[in-house]
Chains A and B, each alone.
Chain A
């Protein structure tokens, strides 16, 4: 069990629940979703409770997160896109903190399950689709017709654009999921090598230094990836939102 790199992704039913034959148990995944939300919301509320003109450290962190996300959205989608800011900000914080929770040993990584990232990606996809259609009506489909393309090439380009639009939720969700999954497996595998090699006596202990160094380096890399993937997910969300607002703009 200790050496199985997949073990960390198993769901454990903490409170078994079932409604109409559908299993909706409160699992370790649910626990860490709740922990992510509670920690993030709790921190943000606590940090901003002073409403200081001169921010405390915690308030600075909250402000930096806010300005980082709002600049990201404003740069990508303009000031019109700011009405989607709650979505972008929630997604960014939820994924970032969910990823970081996963960096604790024995903790569950919420974003290492495809269904979670897919649900979030589909939420973005649906938001883009609904906002785009409600704002521009059929004009939204200009998104698939880039300007300046010669007529004979247009059917091909439109087909490519449609396919790329429809596959967005897949790439959007798999990118995050695969990064978290692969990173955690790699970490676990190298850490497992340390344990296995150490069991082989003196030579093994000496040899286990290499995977130990790798584990440490990968841990650092995983922290970077945890942030980077949250950033990439939020950034892509901003760009998709831009498409909903300015469908003819590219």
Chain B
């Protein structure tokens, strides 16, 4: 479709060529303008000038600026990422240290508690031992006293028995028996 359009358009131009030539006073005549060689020199020259200037400006100003901007941003982003990485490592290290300290504290707390328990137990044992010793002492003293009292009481039993026997003999027999004889008899009886 484009081709036919162009073709009809160019024939139209040819038809209207004279009119245009008069209108523009151009050397174009009836030639299709893009194929008019008389304009080539001017277009090439001005293209060279304008594109040359543009190329110069692009390569000397625009590209360095843009690459600078993008480079700065890239550097900044990578630096920020590094910084974030470093901070993360720091926080990880801090966390690890904290956990290690916590574990140590827990261990030492256990140790302290164990020591306290041991010490308290030792003290309690010592105190109990002491108390037992004291009680044993008292027991021993009491036993000795009891033994002494018992011995004394036993030693007095003979005298009482002699006295009682003497009195019994006197009451029953009416006579008197010498105390020595009675004592002898009591001793003999006690022996049996």
The digit string for B1-14, where 1 denotes a CB below 8 A from any CB of A, is 11101100110110
Is there contact, CB below 8 Å, between B41 and A186? no
Q: In whole angstroms, how far apart are the Cα atoms of A63 and B32 in the complex?
A: 40
Is there contact, CB below 8 Å, between A115 and B65? no
Is there contact, CB below 8 Å, between A10 and B42? no
Q: In whole angstroms, how far apart are the Cα atoms of A43 and B63 in the complex?
A: 13
Is there contact, CB below 8 Å, between A181 and B34? yes
- B105 beta carbon closer than 8 Å to chain A: no
Q: In whole angstroms, how far apart are the Cα atoms of A9 and B5 in the complex?
A: 15
Stretch of B54-62, B89-97, B122-130 that contacts chain A: B54-62
Q: Which of A6, A40, A112, A185 contacts B54 (CB 8 A)?
A: A40
- B189 beta carbon closer than 8 Å to chain A: no
Q: In whole angstroms, how far apart are the Cα atoms of A37 and B16 in the complex?
A: 34
Contacting residues, chain B, for A33 (C-beta < 8 A): 46-47, 50-51
Query: Which chain A residue has the least Cβ–Cβ distance from B14?
Result: A6
Within 8 A of A (CB), among B18-74: 20, 23-24, 26-28, 32-36, 38-48, 50-51, 53-55, 57-59, 61-63, 65-70, 72-73
Number of A-B contacts (CB under 8 A): 166
Q: Which of A29, A37, A182 contacts B43 (CB 8 A)?
A: A29
Q: Chain A: how many interface residues by the 8 Å CB criterion?
A: 59
Is there contact, CB below 8 Å, between A34 and B34? no
Query: Which chain B residue has the least Cβ–Cβ distance from A35?
Result: B50
Min distance, Cβ B122 to any Cβ of chain A, angstroms: 72
Q: Which of A23, A36, A186 contacts B42 (CB 8 A)?
A: A23
Q: In whole angstroms, how far apart are the Cα atoms of A89 and B70 in the complex?
A: 16
Q: Chain B: how many interface residues by the 8 Å CB criterion?
A: 52
- A1 beta carbon closer than 8 Å to chain B: yes
Is there contact, CB below 8 Å, between A9 and B33? yes
- B76 beta carbon closer than 8 Å to chain A: yes
The digit string for A163-206, where 1 denotes a CB below 8 A from any CB of B, is 00000000000000110011001100100000000000000000
Stretch of A45-53, A135-143, A144-152, A234-242 that contacts chain B: A45-53
Min distance, Cβ B27 to any Cβ of chain A, angstroms: 7
Query: Which chain B residue has the least Cβ–Cβ distance from A17?
Result: B42
Q: In whole angstroms, how far apart are the Cα atoms of A113 and B48 in the complex?
A: 15
Is there contact, CB below 8 Å, between A23 and B9? no
- A101 beta carbon closer than 8 Å to chain B: no
Min distance, Cβ B90 to any Cβ of chain A, angstroms: 26
Q: List 17 A-B contacts (CB under 8 A).
A: A6-B9, A6-B10, A6-B32, A23-B38, A29-B42, A29-B43, A30-B50, A33-B51, A34-B50, A41-B62, A48-B69, A59-B69, A86-B58, A113-B34, A113-B43, A114-B34, A116-B43
A interface list, Cβ under 8 A from B: 1, 4-7, 9-13, 17, 22-27, 29-30, 33-34, 36-37, 40-41, 44-45, 48, 51-53, 55, 59, 62-63, 66-67, 85-87, 89-90, 93-94, 110, 112-116, 119-120, 177-178, 181-182, 185-186, 189
